[in-house]
Chain A
């Protein structure tokens, strides 16, 4: 067996220099400490992205975009295609689990201060990956063209229209017209199935490239380390299998509902809310007064949310500029405060 393995490796090495790659990989180490578990979150995101590409391609075999065909084709996938219900449910559940792990990954990186020099660009590409993933979620949510998706998209894109000066133009650009119609659906489909996958794949490559170049943060100051390959990689793979299993359990016991077909003339269903990962922002905008200092409250809200986003993106720079004694408390305050704020607003939005 060993001889066969070595022969295969030799064959590959002659053609692809795999031994060189293995030699390089053997030098990569992962710090081992109390928070090591959080290092697996990024890998889970990568695995789920692969799962989304796989299930997404399968869904593409039957999905037909259009106001007259989207809902019908998703219904067909769910009820007629062999294991179509499973693929669709896995795709929907996995999307949510991916966002959850992205948040875990991002907050753990922030609180471990792994964004510090020289990893500023790794942090910023990570923020970009979160933004693209949320755009994936928002655009994919509309594709079944059901009642909830229609009204959630209507409310969500309405917010874009509030942007001063260019709001109306942006709204038309996103919707493909002044209302949510079949044109919006085609646009979102193009975004979801072509533009975003290309952007996300590229940015993941850059993000991982940066991680490889810089190595892991705390590699030097951790009490001990473990080789990335094969120790960490095999642990990663075991976790991926467990995550896949969890998604399968959710898909079987809680199949993703389709509901009623979108009807622009119908009144919005009661208690309509966006997906949980947009709920905090939605709730924040909802509770603002109609006007603050004669300016619409929603506009203040949009400015505040964008401001918070920029502050978050530029964390490596403002944190570096703080006096040394302020750095630790500032990271803790912003990290835990941001997490608590998001959780509280999400819960409030869910309960109200």
Chain B
């Protein structure tokens, strides 16, 4: 194990060759398991790949085999940083544009500054050592670029990384925070897209909550983060009659109806006059709930028509019939369906009906084409039956004629 760790580290690929004999590696490989685990992790670390070694971060003289000399203050040895020191420890390079330009010019250099604007950073400055610092998310010695699937901050791994602390009920209780966000996220429409379907474009914790700062770039308020992707929904909402009431009551712009982490695929049931989200504030016989009912009816109509058309097209295609035109119409209706759903955020039934109208027309035409094709297929079979009868009788007639001729010929 000892020799293997040292060999792994010494043989690991590096862009810039480190000193031929790294005494840090040689000595620490002979120490306990925890030292060897660090060496093993570091053999695959991005810093190692770009040519950095232990002394690049921890200081000291890696060329000296004298324990005292190599790890002396004179040699610049700083050892392992405390949690409070960690952001600045990493920031020695990551906040230095000249240093980063040398290794990775595309990487920003404001992570540490942003970190101190986040809740984690502010609490750290206030003396809370339980909050996350750089190494909690990125690891200390197994750091990989965020695009690397083995990285702790690769999109599919982020729920697990954040969950190390945020799913720890005891730890979260000390901050009076819930510890079920990751579990809720995993069951949400976003979580299923990422974790079950493998769609890495789906939002994950840091998409809404930011990477190092408190909010993502360009977002004034965390409440507006949904609008980064769902732009029209937010635009319609802000221009609609509900925005002011929301602001007055300090409601979350989206989560009030769609929840925070357990956001499910929205169906028209959200507008139901019985158990819909509108009923949280409005009475069953109020004009608002009636408007919601009208919008639900339109959405159900186009969604029902969309699904029925798909079934009709599939039924025709199973018979080998060409349904390309009907499919084009059906694809167009899909856009109309999305627009109708989005228009719900105007809270005006006529807008939803307006958005749904082209889709209903398209699905109507497509369904008719599919139904006509299936009917035509039935007609084809009848015609084939008639043709078969005719051809068979003709063939039989010819055969009988031959028999007749042959009997005459003897």
> Could you tell me which residues of chain A, from 217 to 249, have a CB within 8 Å of some CB in chain B?
226-227, 230-231, 234-235, 237-239, 241-242, 244-245, 248-249
A68 adjacent to chain B (CB < 8 Å): no
Given contacts A231-B405, A258-B322, contact A252 B381 (CB under 8 A): yes
* Complex Cα–Cα for A249 and B384 (A): 7
Inside 8 A of B401's CB, which chain A residues have their CB?
234
Contact A245 B387 (CB under 8 A): yes
Contact of A255 among B320, B396, B398 (CB under 8 A): B320
A55 adjacent to chain B (CB < 8 Å): no
> Could you tell me which residues of chain B, from 383 to 402, have a CB within 8 Å of some CB in chain A?
384, 387-388, 391-392, 394-396, 398-399, 401-402
A75 adjacent to chain B (CB < 8 Å): yes
* Complex Cα–Cα for A255 and B316 (A): 12
Contact B392 A245 (CB under 8 A): yes
Contact A75 B406 (CB under 8 A): no
B283 adjacent to chain A (CB < 8 Å): no
Contact B399 A238 (CB under 8 A): yes
* Complex Cα–Cα for A255 and B384 (A): 13
Contact A230 B402 (CB under 8 A): yes
B168 adjacent to chain A (CB < 8 Å): no
A328 adjacent to chain B (CB < 8 Å): no
A10 adjacent to chain B (CB < 8 Å): no
Give the size of the chain A interface in residues (CB under 8 angstroms).
Answer: 26
Contact of B324 among A75, A231, A245, A249 (CB under 8 A): A75
Main secondary structure of the interface of B (DSSP, over half): helix
What is the count of residue pairs linking A and B with beta-carbon distances less than 8 angstroms?
Answer: 63
Contact B388 A248 (CB under 8 A): yes
> Could you tell me which residues of chain B, from 185 to 229, have a CB within 8 Å of some CB in chain A?
none
Inside 8 A of B388's CB, which chain A residues have their CB?
245, 248-249
Contact B398 A241 (CB under 8 A): yes
Contact of A235 among B381, B387, B399 (CB under 8 A): B399
Contact B322 A78 (CB under 8 A): yes
Leading 8 A-B pairs by shortest Cβ distance: A238-B398, A255-B320, A238-B395, A241-B395, A245-B391, A252-B384, A234-B402, A241-B391
Inside 8 A of A231's CB, which chain B residues have their CB?
402, 405-406, 409
> Could you tell me which residues of chain B, from 106 to 141, have a CB within 8 Å of some CB in chain A?
none
B321 adjacent to chain A (CB < 8 Å): yes
Give the size of the chain B interface in residues (CB under 8 angstroms).
Answer: 22
> Could you tell me which residues of chain B, from 354 to 410, have a CB within 8 Å of some CB in chain A?
380-381, 384, 387-388, 391-392, 394-396, 398-399, 401-402, 405-406, 409
10 A-B pairs within 8 Å (CB atoms) are namely: A79-B325, A86-B380, A226-B406, A230-B402, A231-B405, A237-B398, A239-B395, A241-B391, A241-B394, A242-B391
Contact surface of B with A, Cβ cutoff 8 Å = 320-322, 324-325, 380-381, 384, 387-388, 391-392, 394-396, 398-399, 401-402, 405-406, 409
Inside 8 A of A242's CB, which chain B residues have their CB?
391-392, 395
Inside 8 A of B380's CB, which chain A residues have their CB?
86, 252
Inside 8 A of B395's CB, which chain A residues have their CB?
238-239, 241-242, 245
A63 adjacent to chain B (CB < 8 Å): no
* Complex Cα–Cα for A257 and B406 (A): 45
Inside 8 A of A237's CB, which chain B residues have their CB?
398
Given contacts A231-B406, A252-B384, A255-B320, contact A244 B399 (CB under 8 A): no
Contact of B398 among A85, A227, A234, A248 (CB under 8 A): A234
Inside 8 A of B384's CB, which chain A residues have their CB?
248-249, 252
Contact B405 A75 (CB under 8 A): no
Contact B320 A254 (CB under 8 A): yes
Closest CB of chain B to A130's CB: distance in Å?
Answer: 28
B376's nearest neighbour on chain A, judged by CB, is: A85
Inside 8 A of B324's CB, which chain A residues have their CB?
75, 79, 258
> Could you tell me which residues of chain A, from 247 to 300, have a CB within 8 Å of some CB in chain B?
248-249, 252-255, 257-258
* Complex Cα–Cα for A79 and B324 (A): 9
A255's nearest neighbour on chain B, judged by CB, is: B320
Contact B387 A248 (CB under 8 A): yes
Closest CB of chain B to A144's CB: distance in Å?
Answer: 12
Contact B391 A244 (CB under 8 A): yes
* Complex Cα–Cα for A277 and B356 (A): 51
A231's nearest neighbour on chain B, judged by CB, is: B402
